[in-house]
Amino acid sequence: ELEGQERVFQERIDAGVKIEPKDWMPEGYRKTLVRQISQHAHSEIVGQLPEGNWITRAPTLKRKAILLAKVQDEAGHGLYLYSAAETLGVSRDALIAQLHAGKAKYSSIFNYPTLTWADIGAIGWLVDGSAIINQIPLCRCSYGPYARAMVRVCKEESFHQRQGYDLLLALCNGTPEQKAMAQDALNRWWWPALMMFGPSDADSVNSAQSTQWGIKLFSNDALRQKMVDQTVPQAEYLGLTIPDPDLKWNEERGHYDFGAIDWDEFFNVIKGNGPCNRERLATRVQAYEDGEWFREGLNAHADKQAARGAA
């Protein structure tokens, strides 16, 4: 039984009233949001790396312009999300320091390598596709600044998803080698994409509280099922095979049944031992250090402006 401020807070959430930065909130609510929003921000920024890897190798000027725009959008998403986290009383510098020290999580998916051009298509189709399914409900979550940030992010993610599908469609309508490249990318990205939704509901330690607080509106497994149901017909249209022998329409449930996820692989990746964890972190830290001269310049300029204003 909740009492006092906490009860009033829960009643507001249950009534669908958004919580705003200056409102009273339980410390656990604040902490949960800082955790989730910062992980989400880090995912956007680290998520630029696998695709950034292909900007100089895009096959045509048009594909290069599209990919550049997508990767820039991801930087923007990171910035909206760090700003949303800052409304909860943490600084962006502190969050970035945690990431660089290897203490903060970011999505498991960005620890896999992009080996071929088809991987860029698979990321747009499957990774942005999953991101949309997870983020559409977040547009209605209880914390105002996070919910509002998600509206624009989701619009941009849908462009990202379409560009990935369009890229794969071109490959699948191309030569047998191109189609094989698309199939190989699907084989490698399918299972990691399903892992993006987090552990099964039985192992999701944060779900119960986050649901009560209106941060989570659907469970990890419910969203994962939605992703499978939505993606199977899209794979069929491409003429590609999803790498799961147990995948089968279940008439009774009205959903696809699918095979078991390798949770050992998932937990290994989130512990820092995926194929690219070390490389991703090292690249981020290097980029930050290389930007030191620029941050110094910005500060010097800001100090000069402030001194002028004071004079």
Between 34 and 73, how does the x/- string for binding to ligand FAQ read (CB under 6 A)?
-xx--xx--xx--x--------------------------
Between 73 and 112, how does the x/- string for binding to ligand FAQ read (CB under 6 A)?
-x------------------------------x-xx----
Decide if 26 contacts 55 (C-beta within 8 A). no
Please tell me what DSSP assigns to residue 120. Answer: H
Token pair for 86: 């800052």
Q: Closer CB to ligand FAQ, residue 187 or residue 211? A: 211
Q: Closer CB to ligand FAQ, residue 21 or residue 137? A: 137
Per rule CB under 6 A, count of chain residues that contact ligand FAQ: 29
Query: CB 35 → ligand FAQ: shortest distance, Å?
Result: 5
Among 53, 187, 206, 268, interactor with ligand FAQ by CB under 6 A: 206
Q: What is the CA radius of gyration of the chain?
A: 21
Tell me how far apart the terminal alpha carbons of the chain are, to the nearest angstrom.
58
Query: CB 152 → ligand FAQ: shortest distance, Å?
Result: 13
Alpha carbon 264 to chain centroid, angstroms: 21
Burial class (CB in 10 A: 0-12, 13-18, 19+), 225: buried
Among 38, 114, 134, 183, interactor with ligand FAQ by CB under 6 A: 134
Among 129, 145, 164, 198, interactor with ligand FAQ by CB under 6 A: 198
Percent helix, strand and coil across the chain, each to the nearest 5 = 70, 5, 25
Query: CB 290 → ligand FAQ: shortest distance, Å?
Result: 21
Token pair for 104: 């903060």
* Shortest-Cβ-distance residue relative to ligand FAQ: 47
Dihedral of alpha carbons 80, 84, 87, 90, sign? negative
Q: Closer CB to ligand FAQ, residue 201 or residue 296? A: 201
Burial class (CB in 10 A: 0-12, 13-18, 19+), 155: exposed
Q: Closer CB to ligand FAQ, residue 117 or residue 179? A: 117
Q: Closer CB to ligand FAQ, residue 234 or residue 241? A: 234
**Cα separation of 150 and 60, whole Å?**
31
Please give the residue ranges that form the binding site for ligand FAQ (CB under 6 A). Answer: 35-36, 39-40, 43-44, 47, 74, 105, 107-108, 123, 127-128, 131, 134, 195-199, 204-207, 210, 216, 220, 270
